[in-house]
Each structure stands twice: as structure tokens, then as C-alpha cells.
């Protein structure tokens, strides 16, 4: 597939960014595939071989902890070999320069934070922190990986990832809503927009909306601009143009 986004769409994005006084970035798993982290619904994604209901739900956690533990341990070990890429660093730099304001992400890899972004709104939690599923006491990655019980109550330890069927962190959701309402520009990067309620956000802004994604996105979305391409490649081209436009 022709992934090389046309120059004029990139120039249009740069113009939107320069005109905007409040820009929100919303990322999904496609933001991290160029770091070597599989996404979920592409042909090479996690859900191609695994039924998410068997591992990424509270039922899975409560009724089949061994399989739940195996899946998240495998993701933690795979993630340990991966790092944020240039695209994460560019977003963090643009935030420092005041060109973009808020980064909201569905990703749990912490890559935006590791690349230096601040106040990242982690809508689906983080795989880097852990708690007891029973009493809520904070725990550690090692305790989880070694499958040790909660030191406080003996319950099962879990990563602080929002599982299907669980509510999103309320404060984070409210923060993102506020920024989406204030935004002049929302740039959606690397997400299929399949998962509720995050997939409602692009329609909730009065600002310009841009989708930067490798594939078409199902559904009735009306983006002002669609850029078909790879996140890192396109963000690098945007950065070059920002210097000359």
C-alpha cells in the first residue's frame, strides 16, 4: 500500500498546528509499532491470535489468573526490549515548545512520558504500575512477574491497565474532555477508534480534526484531514516542515 503521505496533506497539518492555540494529541497502539510493540487489530496485532475476552477482562483476571498472568507477563517482557521512537520525542519537544498542549493516549507503555512529555493523560492506565486486585494495595512489577500474592491481603496482583469492562480513570477522562472541548486542533495518531469511549473523543471537539493512521478507520468519522502513513515517518516530515513553513 502506498504509505507515503502526500506533501500537501502534511503542509495542511503544519498550517493547522501553527494556527491552533490549543492542540490535543490522541494516540493509540499505532504510535508504538515503530518501536517494535505490536498493536491489537492490525494483521500483526495481539488480537489476531488471542481472544481479548480470554485475557483482557476482569472475568479473565478473576477466573483464569494463570492465563491472565501469562499474557501480561509476556507483554511486559516484550516491552522491556522496546523504547520510544523519534515520533514520541518529537511530540514531547513540540509540547515543550508550546506547539501542542495535551497528549492523551490509549497506550499503556509509558513511551510518551519516557520521551519527556508531561501531564500525559493515560486513558487506559499503565502496564508499568501494579496493584492488588482484591485490596487495591500498590505492588511491584517483580511481585507480579514472580506471581507472588499481595503482601497485604494475599490477593492476586495485576497491572494497572484498564481491562475491558472496567471504567476509565474518572479524573483522567474529565481532564481529557476539558482539553478536547478547548481544542482548536485534535490530532489522532495510530488508533482504529474501535474502543469506546475513547473513540467518541474526535467528534467531541469544535476544533479541526486530523487522523494520522496506516489504515482506513471504520465508522462515520468526518476528519478535516486524513493522512495515511506511518506515525514516525509523518511526524518527522512535519518536524522538517515546521522549520521552514
Q: Residue numbers of the site for ligand APR (CB under 6 A)? A: 28-30, 33-34, 39-42, 45, 52, 106, 124, 190-192, 194-195, 213-215, 230-231
Give the shortest CB-148-to-ligand APR separation in angstroms. 26
**Cα(135)–Cα(239) distance, rounded to whole angstroms?**
46
From its phi and psi, is residue 56 left (phi > 0), alpha (psi between -120 and 50) or beta? alpha
Active site residues: 124
Give the shortest CB-191-to-ligand APR separation in angstroms. 3
Give the shortest CB-161-to-ligand APR separation in angstroms. 7
Residue nearest to ligand APR (CB): 30
**Sheet strands side by side (includes 185-189):** 121-122, 102-105, 23-27, 185-189, 208-213, 225-228
Give the shortest CB-152-to-ligand APR separation in angstroms. 27
Which residue, 28 or 207, has its beta carbon nearer to ligand APR?
28
Amino acid at each position: 500500500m502506498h504509505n507515503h503521505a502526500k506533501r500537501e496533506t502534511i503542509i495542511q497539518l503544519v498550517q493547522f498546528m501553527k494556527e491552533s492555540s490549543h492542540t490535543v494529541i490522541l494516540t493509540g497502539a499505532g504510535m508504538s509499532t515503530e518501536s517494535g510493540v505490536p498493536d491489537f487489530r492490525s494483521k500483526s496485532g495481539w488480537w489476531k491470535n488471542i481472544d481479548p475476552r480470554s485475557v483482557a477482562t476482569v472475568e479473565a483476571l478473576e477466573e483464569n489468573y494463570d492465563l491472565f498472568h501469562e499474557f501480561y507477563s509476556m507483554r511486559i517482557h516484550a516491552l522491556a526490549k522496546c523504547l520510544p521512537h523519534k515520533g514520541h520525542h518529537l511530540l514531547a519537544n513540540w509540547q515543550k515548545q508550546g506547539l501542542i498542549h495535551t497528549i492523551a493516549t490509549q497506550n499503556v507503555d509509558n513511551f510518551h512520558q519516557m520521551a519527556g512529555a508531561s501531564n500525559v493523560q493515560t486513558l487506559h492506565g499503565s502496564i508499568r504500575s501494579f496493584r492488588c486486585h482484591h485490596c487495591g494495595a500498590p505492588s511491584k512489577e517483580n511481585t507480579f512477574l514472580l506471581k507472588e500474592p499481595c503482601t497485604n491481603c494475599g490477593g492476586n496482583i495485576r497491572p494497572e491497565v484498564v481491562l475491558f469492562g472496567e471504567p476509565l480513570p474518572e479524573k483522567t477522562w474529565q481532564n481529557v474532555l476539558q482539553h478536547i472541548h478547548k481544542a482548536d486542533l485534535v490530532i489522532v495518531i495510530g488508533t482504529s477508534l474501535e474502543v469506546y469511549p475513547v473513540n467518541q473523543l474526535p467528534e467531541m471537539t469544535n476544533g479541526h480534526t486530523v487522523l494520522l493512521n496506516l489504515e482506513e478507520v471504520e465508522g462515520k468519522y468526518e476528519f478535516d484531514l486524513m493522512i495515511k502513513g506511518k506515525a514516525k515517518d509523518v511526524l518527522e516530515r512535519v518536524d522538517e516542515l515546521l522549520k521552514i513553513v
